[in-house]
A and B are shown apart, each in its own frame.
Chain A
Amino acid sequence: MFRTALRNVLAHKARLLMTVLAVLLGVAFVSGTLVFTNTISDAFQKSSQKGFDNVDVAIQPHTADRDREERRPGHAPKLSQHLLDQAGKVPGAASATGSVSGFAAVADKHGKLVGEGFNSTGANYYPGPGGKDARYPLKDGRAPQAAGEIALDAKTADRGGYKIGDTVRLSVDGPVLEKKLTGVFTTDDGNVSAGGSLALFDTATAQKLYATPGEFGEIDVKAAPGTSQAALKTAIDKILPRDAEATTGKQLADDQATMIAQGMDGMKTGMLVFAGISLFVGIFIIANTFTMLVSQRTKELALMRAVGASRRQVTRSVLLEALVVGAVAAVTGLLAGIGIGAGLRSLLNGAGATVPDGPLVITPGTVVTSLVVGIVVTMLAAWLPGRRAAKIPPVAAMNSVHAVATTRSLVVRNTIGALLSGTGIAAVLAATGMKDGKTVLGIGAGLLLIGVFVLTPLLSRPLIAAAAPVLNLFGISGKLARQNAVRNPRRTAATASALMIGLTLITGLTVIAGSVQQAIDKMATSAIKADYVVSMASHTPLSPEVAKKLASAPGVTASSPLRMSASRIDGDHESLTGVDGKSIKELTKLDFTAGSFDGLTAGKAVVDESTAKSHGWKLGSTVDATFEDGKHGKITVSGIYKGNELMRGIMVDTTTLAPHQSVVNDQQVMVKTKAGTGASAKDSLSKALGDNPAIQIQDKKDISNDIAKAISLMLNMLYGLLGMAVIVAVLGVVNTLAMSVFERSQEIGMLRAIGLDRKGIKRMVRLESLVISLFGGVLGVGLGVFFGWAAGELIGKSLGTYEMVLPWGRIAVFLLIAALVGVLAALWPARRAAKLNMLAAIKAE
């Protein structure tokens, strides 16, 4: 049996090629994802582990909110110099290192930021007993010792073009700092190996920048030879104050490894979902191919039945063929996937996102998963055709006439399809009216997608018939193409469905993304009256210096910071936003349902509607607040406004907060200038801030561009991932056409004989391909728009300015892509059809 199956596979190599390719691509996607994520997370884990080489026990501020009632809101505990001194003297401790760290943006020689904003760090150089910090071996120069000195990691110094003795421009929370580069060091720091920058200050300077003098963020203790990490931890636990805890270096490394693995898991799952979509699409192609092979071999299979093979053996022989095909595709797919994994890593490296070096990780799990997925998917798809093969009666072998399989009625199929689609549509529509309809919407969308897929054969006739007027322009080729396309509705349906699935998702996501972008955009531009919004590029807090400088900058007519301060009100944590009470109404445009910004002075607050409602506040209510230093105060509600995504919560005048804040953090500063927006106004603001690369000055257009950029980046990634499903769908179209050409070779030969030239034959095949592809495209775009609309109804509930925007341009592009798919897929089958040997085709019976 196995030998027959193997022979069959070999005999139909060419026809199985597309099937193999489809499975191969899916498997490659799966194994590529696994190899890539495993490799990256392994590399990150190894590099982060190296970072803990010097740490046997780490003392960190206790972050758990154990006794929140006693603690001051928003206060982050720090570790004292006293604790550091004590830790170094604990029995079994060799040395103790204190560290403080935070954000530090380094500009290169041209004033541009080095690295990304989010992984630019600054820390202290803590000379140990030998006068050296073991974490940061110096490559060149000496350690920073005074406030005006700095050391940079080798990569950053290189990228910034700095040499020892140069003046480095950098910024921690706004103002530009200029420091002399005294040393260049190497480090295993995970952030740096991942492409970030690290600047080192002397301890006192770092403490001033990131904490308060004499305090540390972390204390690392190194064990003396012969002392275990656990023993050292036990010793240190005894001296710990209440708001600090000790962790062994091993535990830290493990924790970080778990965290990295978790981070990668999200990415892995996401990519596997898309791999799954590709494989799902591939199922259609496999099923199509095997259906074809079985119907071509009707006689042969009947002969097997006639000479005594049981039905089960016939099914099994088809499944065995699928097994062989699946195994070949899975193995090659696995190899391709490993290649993809390796390629992706070097691609990332090339793109500047530095990934730590490490070996390519191919786990047994990856190999097994890939092989199993490939084989199971293929056999699953071949199962139905296999069952159908078993139903061929033995007498079919005796018939001299073609035993043409009778087309089974589509009534049952259409009924099921109509039921599924109907339920799906009902569920989707019901979901749009619900408060939390996400699950219902998902289920409804799934049902509808399957329902439409089941109904595709029924839909193919009217939809393709609708294209008749256009096709008839191409004369007889067009007419024949249209009729050929609906000749085997099931096959056409399966082929078009493969394309439909990809395009449904792509269109739906595009509709949603475009609408959300417009909604946020509208909100941003309608809520803000300010000409510019100033913030850190890294989205870390700004120094209050910035607000002060901007307020006095030339041409500025109004400015206000958005100053965050934690507080507790009625036992709940609430964030207070400090604003300039006099200027804020010039800078924002909010709808007040009661009161206004007027009179927002010390002791007053404006509150958004939902916060007011949840606390039961009205205009004039007096609120008892606990400020971040733990002191109590009374605030009177002087206005209630409609909140939105950008502006919400409790706003107070900065003077209300001033007595309670030791460290002031501004999220952003809003500015209105006399000149309005324009290059010169922006320049003068930038100049007032000392041309700091870490600070971004954005007008409304910049903000909406930012939003657009983020959304289109996300969309492009999704397009890339879904593109795979489209490629698999192209293979499906190629496959179907190749099969059609093969099946109809006699017809094509006759057409050639009675005078249709090669061009006409080619055109006929191409048009058929185009019709099938566009059919899938239209279905996909239609469903996508419907799902996009339905999802939008849900989003609209939480996003007030949401309104569905139909991306006509994109929709046209998608249909164009569908058409392109059709044309490309037809290239090879059309050539084959035109080259067909006329005589052989006519003689063939």
Chain B
Amino acid sequence: MEYVLNAPPSRQELSLVTTTPSGASTAVRTTAVAARATDLTKVYGQGETQVVALDAVSVEFRQAEFTAIMGPSGSGKSTLMHCMAGLDTVSGGSARIGDTELTALNDKKLTRLRRDKIGFIFQAFNLLPTLNALENITLPMDIAGRKPDQAWLDTVVETVGLSGRLKHRPNQLSGGQQQRVAVARALAGRPEIMFADEPTGNLDSRSGAEVLGFLRNSVRELGQTVVMVTHDPVAASYADRVVFLADGRIVDEMYEPSADAVLDRMKRFDAKGRTS
């Protein structure tokens, strides 16, 4: 299974080598960019029914950073994530994961990129009911036909607190546990970047807080890069940085957000939405 893309291993190695799962609470910050959108445009439909979902968006997602994308419904936040994650095609501009230009890849190469470099967490968990928790976690590696790195796998499983439940089927797990399996699945392949689409949407607040905690830990302790789409200010407050989207454009950015600050910012959208 020769990997065709020329991803520079140095940056990845850097972040992984310098981060240790020993519980050190110091996050290793590098300025390397894990993903970058440049003038990214996405248009749905044609003619009269044409909808511009993304209007020349340029944004960077830095390594070992937890970024939340926020915005009102229809702002294009999900579309941005789908385009960056190689799930959707792009109408114009460029989307890069590391040094790889997604717009230049065909379906086969995109699939491989998603498999090897990207981790996904969905709102609806999306676990396979026929596989047990451990099998679900190692699914991406099984697809690639790779042996999972056992030490890393143990770390991930321990981090999300699933050690005792690995042989359970999804329907024997609670929603929070299922989403933790999904987080572990995304982490297990040591992706260059993880995308989470409303990961707490189907969870109660306690389970949601747990999952968000794991996402933050994976950034702070394991040096992972996470991009999360959410409309929940509390969820966004777990991130290092919040990017606000409205009408397909990036309108604001906030570092070290608090739930209140995010809520205030969001309220302004609502007000604007009502007045306009």
A752 an interface residue at 8 Å Cβ cutoff? yes
In the assembled complex, the Cα of A479 lies from the Cα of B111 at a distance in Å of 20
12 contacts between A and B (CB under 8 A): A475-B143, A483-B130, A487-B129, A487-B130, A746-B126, A750-B120, A753-B120, A754-B115, A755-B111, A757-B108, A842-B87, A845-B124
Contacts of B131 on A, CB cut-off 8 Å? 483
Asked if residues A480 and B130 are in contact (CB atoms below 8 Å), the reply is yes
Contacts of B130 on A, CB cut-off 8 Å? 480, 483-484, 487
Contacts of B197 on A, CB cut-off 8 Å? 842
Asked if residues A475 and B124 are in contact (CB atoms below 8 Å), the reply is no
Q: Considering the complex, give the chain B residue whose CB is closest to the CB of A747.
A: B128
Q: Considering the complex, give the chain A residue whose CB is closest to the CB of B125.
A: A750
Contacts of B144 on A, CB cut-off 8 Å? 755
Asked if residues B139 and A476 are in contact (CB atoms below 8 Å), the reply is yes
Contacts of A807 on B, CB cut-off 8 Å? none
Contacts of A747 on B, CB cut-off 8 Å? 126, 128
In the assembled complex, the Cα of A755 lies from the Cα of B191 at a distance in Å of 12
In the assembled complex, the Cα of A821 lies from the Cα of B107 at a distance in Å of 30
B82 an interface residue at 8 Å Cβ cutoff? yes
Asked if residues A754 and B139 are in contact (CB atoms below 8 Å), the reply is yes
In the assembled complex, the Cα of A752 lies from the Cα of B116 at a distance in Å of 13
In the assembled complex, the Cα of A754 lies from the Cα of B122 at a distance in Å of 11
A756 an interface residue at 8 Å Cβ cutoff? yes
Partner of A754, one of B82, B107, B108, B143: B143
Most buried by B among A483, A487, A753: A753
A603 an interface residue at 8 Å Cβ cutoff? no
- Seen from chain B, the residues whose Cβ lies within 8 Å of a Cβ on chain A are 82, 85, 87-88, 107-108, 111-112, 114-116, 120, 122, 124, 126, 128-131, 139-140, 142-145, 185, 197
Partner of B88, one of A479, A746, A839: A839
Residues of chain A from 342 to 389 with CB closer than 8 A to chain B in the complex: none
In the assembled complex, the Cα of A760 lies from the Cα of B120 at a distance in Å of 19
15 new A-B contacts at CB < 8 Å, known A487-B129, A750-B128, A842-B124 = A475-B142, A475-B143, A475-B145, A476-B143, A484-B130, A747-B126, A752-B111, A753-B87, A754-B120, A754-B139, A754-B185, A755-B144, A756-B115, A758-B108, A838-B87
Asked if residues A750 and B126 are in contact (CB atoms below 8 Å), the reply is yes
Chain A: minimal CB distance from B58 (Å): 23
Q: Considering the complex, give the chain A residue whose CB is closest to the CB of B135.
A: A479
Contacts of B108 on A, CB cut-off 8 Å? 757-758
Assuming the contacts A475-B142, A475-B145, A756-B143, asked whether A842 and B112 have C-beta atoms less than 8 A apart, the reply is no
In the assembled complex, the Cα of A753 lies from the Cα of B118 at a distance in Å of 9
Chain B: minimal CB distance from A63 (Å): 74
Contacts of A842 on B, CB cut-off 8 Å? 87, 122, 124, 126, 197
Q: Considering the complex, give the chain B residue whose CB is closest to the CB of A750.
A: B126
In the assembled complex, the Cα of A480 lies from the Cα of B131 at a distance in Å of 8
Contacts of A755 on B, CB cut-off 8 Å? 111-112, 114-116, 140, 143-144
Asked if residues A839 and B82 are in contact (CB atoms below 8 Å), the reply is yes
In the assembled complex, the Cα of A487 lies from the Cα of B107 at a distance in Å of 30
In the assembled complex, the Cα of A845 lies from the Cα of B197 at a distance in Å of 14
Chain B: minimal CB distance from A764 (Å): 11
In the assembled complex, the Cα of A758 lies from the Cα of B106 at a distance in Å of 12
Chain A: minimal CB distance from B112 (Å): 7
In the assembled complex, the Cα of A753 lies from the Cα of B82 at a distance in Å of 10
Contacts of B122 on A, CB cut-off 8 Å? 750, 753, 842
Contacts of B126 on A, CB cut-off 8 Å? 746-747, 749-750, 842
In the assembled complex, the Cα of A751 lies from the Cα of B124 at a distance in Å of 14
Assuming the contacts A487-B130, A839-B87, A842-B122, asked whether A753 and B114 have C-beta atoms less than 8 A apart, the reply is yes
In the assembled complex, the Cα of A754 lies from the Cα of B116 at a distance in Å of 9
Q: Considering the complex, give the chain A residue whose CB is closest to the CB of B119.
A: A754
Contacts of A839 on B, CB cut-off 8 Å? 82, 87-88
Q: Mark A203-222, 1 if CB is under 8 A from B, else 0.
A: 00000000000000000000
Residues of chain A from 738 to 781 with CB closer than 8 A to chain B in the complex: 746-747, 749-758, 760
Chain A: minimal CB distance from B258 (Å): 31
In the assembled complex, the Cα of A129 lies from the Cα of B141 at a distance in Å of 101
Assuming the contacts A753-B114, A754-B185, A757-B108, asked whether A479 and B128 have C-beta atoms less than 8 A apart, the reply is no
Contacts of B142 on A, CB cut-off 8 Å? 475-476, 479
Residues of chain A from 451 to 487 with CB closer than 8 A to chain B in the complex: 475-476, 479-480, 483-484, 487
Q: Considering the complex, give the chain B residue whose CB is closest to the CB of A404.
A: B171
Residues of chain A from 685 to 738 with CB closer than 8 A to chain B in the complex: none
In the assembled complex, the Cα of A315 lies from the Cα of B144 at a distance in Å of 48
Chain B: minimal CB distance from A685 (Å): 71
In the assembled complex, the Cα of A480 lies from the Cα of B107 at a distance in Å of 22
Partner of A746, one of B85, B124, B139, B140: B124
In the assembled complex, the Cα of A749 lies from the Cα of B130 at a distance in Å of 16
Q: Considering the complex, give the chain A residue whose CB is closest to the CB of B145.
A: A475
In the assembled complex, the Cα of A487 lies from the Cα of B128 at a distance in Å of 11
Contacts of B145 on A, CB cut-off 8 Å? 475-476
Partner of A757, one of B111, B140, B185: B111
Asked if residues B143 and A760 are in contact (CB atoms below 8 Å), the reply is yes
In the assembled complex, the Cα of A487 lies from the Cα of B169 at a distance in Å of 13
Contacts of A483 on B, CB cut-off 8 Å? 130-131
Contacts of B82 on A, CB cut-off 8 Å? 839
Chain A: minimal CB distance from B194 (Å): 11
Contacts of B120 on A, CB cut-off 8 Å? 750, 753-754
Residues of chain A from 125 to 173 with CB closer than 8 A to chain B in the complex: none
Q: Considering the complex, give the chain A residue whose CB is closest to the CB of B128.
A: A747
Residues of chain A from 798 to 843 with CB closer than 8 A to chain B in the complex: 838-839, 842
In the assembled complex, the Cα of A756 lies from the Cα of B82 at a distance in Å of 17
Asked if residues B107 and A758 are in contact (CB atoms below 8 Å), the reply is yes
In the assembled complex, the Cα of A751 lies from the Cα of B144 at a distance in Å of 12
Residues of chain A from 478 to 517 with CB closer than 8 A to chain B in the complex: 479-480, 483-484, 487
In the assembled complex, the Cα of A757 lies from the Cα of B145 at a distance in Å of 13
Contacts of A752 on B, CB cut-off 8 Å? 111
Q: Considering the complex, give the chain B residue whose CB is closest to the CB of A486.
A: B130
In the assembled complex, the Cα of A842 lies from the Cα of B88 at a distance in Å of 12
Chain B: minimal CB distance from A485 (Å): 10
Contacts of B107 on A, CB cut-off 8 Å? 757-758
Sorted nearest first, the 7 A-B pairs with minimum C-beta distance are A755-B115, A483-B130, A750-B126, A757-B111, A476-B142, A755-B114, A756-B143
